[in-house]
Structure 1
Amino acid sequence: MGGAFTVAVDWGTSSLRVWLLDSAGAVLSESRSAEGADGLAAGGFEACLTRHIERLGRAARGARIVMCGMVGARNGWREAPYMPIPARLDELPRHAMRVAGAGVDALILPGLVRNHADAPDVMRGEETQLLGFSAVPGFSGLVCLPGTHCKWVRVRDGGVDDFSSAMTGEIFRLLAQHSVLRHVVDPQARIAADDPAFLRAAAAGLARPEALLHTLFSVRAAALVSGLSAGAAAARLSGLLIGTDIGAALREVAPGTAVSLIASGPFVALYEQVFGLAGVRPRVFDADEMVRAGLFRAARLWDEMELCA
């Protein structure tokens, strides 16, 4: 490992992850907490970040800082305006917001915006994962980034041509906790990718994504009519939503389009399984590794920008 090069910060709505990276992008130390951007007052970001940088050790003091995520939202530390698509990912640092203060010299990377009057869309945080992913040479195709809001991104030669968002994870949580389905679904159930209830529902979602509003009610009906357990009902609900999500997305691209999956945790197995049902074998990339790679690459590009200034 080399010496300290940059402090990389992924500051989401409900969590904060800070890494000290060396000159090759390897992790020297890290600090994590639940101090997400939503829970901080406007003046609390710098003090919070300073505490975490102190935890990284003496080598982190004075290092340049690159940040992504909701820290750059309107209610974050400093708003980093969205960059419109189509866009080259290596241009993200040029559109970043610089924050300078006592002991802080940081870039907040911008999100991306789809300025279509009929279907506007935004992302903030995923663009940095895509910047890390763009180091994969020559990829052109569809990238899936599951989560609370699943992003479907059309990537070509290091740039984003188009993208769309699906509220897959949030809809699961809302239906499981706040709809009539709360009486039959266990929202805390651990769903296995090979669960028969999950697989059958995913196949139904893939086959007829347009039927989602009807198939969702079948979760309640199955509990009433067939005695479906709360855990199996959760698996059925998840399968319907993920199958519908993937089925609708694949209809928008040509058969044989290359697909990559950037994910971590349980999303990897669930989405990879449903892609398999659809006859697609995506290349899988770890989401944590991609965001670190993207922040590291942004720091390198920042250096190059200043050398050329």
Structure 2
Amino acid sequence: MTHTSIEPTVTFLRERFTRAPHAILVLGSGLGGLADEIEDAVRVPFDDIPGFPRRTQALAGHAGQLVAGRMEGVEVVAMQGRFHLYEGWKPSDVALPVRALASLGARSMLLTNAAGGIRPGFVPGDLMLIADHLNLMFQNPLIGETFPGETRFPDMSDPYDAGFRRAAEEVARELKIPVTQGVYAGLLGPTYETPAEVRMLGRLGADAVGMSTVPEVIVARAIGVKCLGISCITNLAAGLSGQALSHDEVMEVGAQVRERLVALVRGVLPRIAPLNLASEAAS
């Protein structure tokens, strides 16, 4: 993929979305219902967007469309569903939506994902603010040509913005929503991890594990888009509960936490968009 190859994507989206987005929402498995909260919504299926990967099969919990509009006064574009490396896409394919939406003007990104809990004490339904990640997918969307506006060697010392996390913790306290912070391990999938792999991840410092998020955050940081990540702990990782893992369980718990997650996102969005704009003005 070259920088010219995303130009038709950007042109198409600029024509469909009449207002420039301030923030990108990336919604994970079972969490796409957040997009239903967007006002004055314009919906565009992924398959209608030039340059977007063409999905050969639908994944439960991923509607596969962009939803643009307002949430709490903030102009947003939500990815109701996302692309995964385990579907066979290249890292640059997975990163394409972030590159395109950043080109429209977005400078903040809020990502949600479904994750398996590794840290002792986690229970399904817990919410974890991602403080850092382990890229155990061993792939990187920045390999190859450097796109205009992207850093060749981006600093990843603060991939999930500390100010955004403080804002999210403040909102959570105000709303009495329990949250914690932790490290997310991104693995390739599509298999769930073995008990031995889960023990290894715990020793490496991971608190939760999933199959997404990391590629999008890497390219966002190269562009200068600040990120807030929220993991919904939908199940305990293999070997910790004595139960077999299933995608149905992921979907069920995602539905159960919807109300809390919507409240948290609604509360934090107006705080992270001005924070990002203010930092740009100061620079």
TM-score of the pair, normalised by structure 1:
0.31
Higher helix fraction: Structure 1 or Structure 2? Answer: 1
Name which structure has the greater RCO, CA cutoff 8 Å, separation 6+: 2
TM-score of the pair, normalised by structure 2:
0.33
Larger Rg: 1
